[in-house]
């Protein structure tokens, strides 16, 4: 064997020993580093579970509060509608009283003009009440025919050229509540 070859072999062995020593040191460092990170990883599931439990609990509470809110508002709306109807009906009671008095008077009355006047007063009182509630009659005769407000029950030849496409007669009065049609007016239209 050549002494140079022997030296090369010794150097190679020495390098391999150094490398293995270095590798062992790195492995030892990695193991100790892994232990530290393993401790953190072991803590992470516990923290994540606590965080999950807290979030889940707050979510369930929020859902329960919202459900209670929804039920409460539905109940309040129903009560408002019910009490709103009571107010309207209570305000109609004086009109009903007047009609009852008029009916009693009609049975025994001898003066027809006084009865007519009494019925007209009751009618005007009732119309005033409806106006307070936002109900008004739809003007018809002479108005241009509008399908949003009127229902044509008949079409007749217009008596004059200026009455074509206009309402000539009203068979039934229509009413509006503010800007909404409660009942369409039944009308006769000129053609």
- Tokens matching residue 130: 């409806």
CATH class of 135-191: mainly beta
What φ, ψ does residue 4 adopt, rounded to 5°? Answer: -70, -40
Sheet (strand 135-137) strand order: 135-137, 175-177, 180-183
Q: CA 57 to CA 62: how far, in whole Å?
A: 9
Q: Which residues sit opposite 183 in a β-bridge?
A: 175
pLDDT digits (tens, 9 = 90+) for 60-78: 999 999 999 999 999 999 8
* Winning range, highest mean pLDDT, from 54-58, 112-116, 143-147, 158-162: 54-58
- pLDDT score of 46: 84
Answering whether pTM is above 0.85, one says no
Q: For residue range 115-137, what is the model confidence (pLDDT) as tens digits? A: 999 999 999 999 999 999 899 99
Give the strands of the sheet with 185-190, arranged side by side. Answer: 150-156, 185-190, 167-172
154: enclosing H helix or E strand: strand 150-156
Average pLDDT in the chain:
83
The values of phi and psi at residue 110, to 5°, are -110, -20
Instruction: Kindly state the helix (H) or strand (E) to which residue 47 belongs, with its residue range.
Output: helix 3-108
Query: Shortest CA distance to 130 belongs to which of 183, 171, 77?
Result: 183
């Amino acid at each position: 064997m050549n002494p140079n070859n022997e030296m090369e072999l010794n150097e190679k062995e020495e390098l391999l020993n150094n490398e293995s020593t270095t590798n062992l040191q790195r492995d030892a460092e990695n193991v100790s580093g892994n232990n530290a990170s393993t401790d953190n990883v072991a803590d992470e599931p516990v923290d994540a579970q606590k965080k999950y439990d807290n979030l889940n609990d707050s979510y369930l509470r929020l859902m329960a509060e919202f459900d209670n809110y929804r039920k409460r508002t539905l109940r309040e709306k129903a009560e408002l509608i019910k009490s709103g109807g009571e107010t309207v009906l209570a305000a109609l009671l004086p009109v009903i009283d007047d009609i009852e008095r008029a009916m009693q008077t009609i049975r025994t009355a001898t003066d027809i003009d006084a009865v007519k006047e009494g019925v007209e007063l009751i009618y005007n009182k009732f119309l005033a009440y409806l106006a307070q509630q936002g109900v008004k009659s739809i003007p018809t005769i002479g108005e241009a025919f509008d399908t949003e407000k009127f229902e044509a029950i008949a079409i007749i030849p217009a008596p004059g050229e200026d009455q074509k496409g206009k309402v000539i007669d009203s068979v039934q009065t229509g009413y509006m509540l503010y800007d909404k049609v409660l009942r369409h007016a039944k009308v006769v239209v000129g053609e």
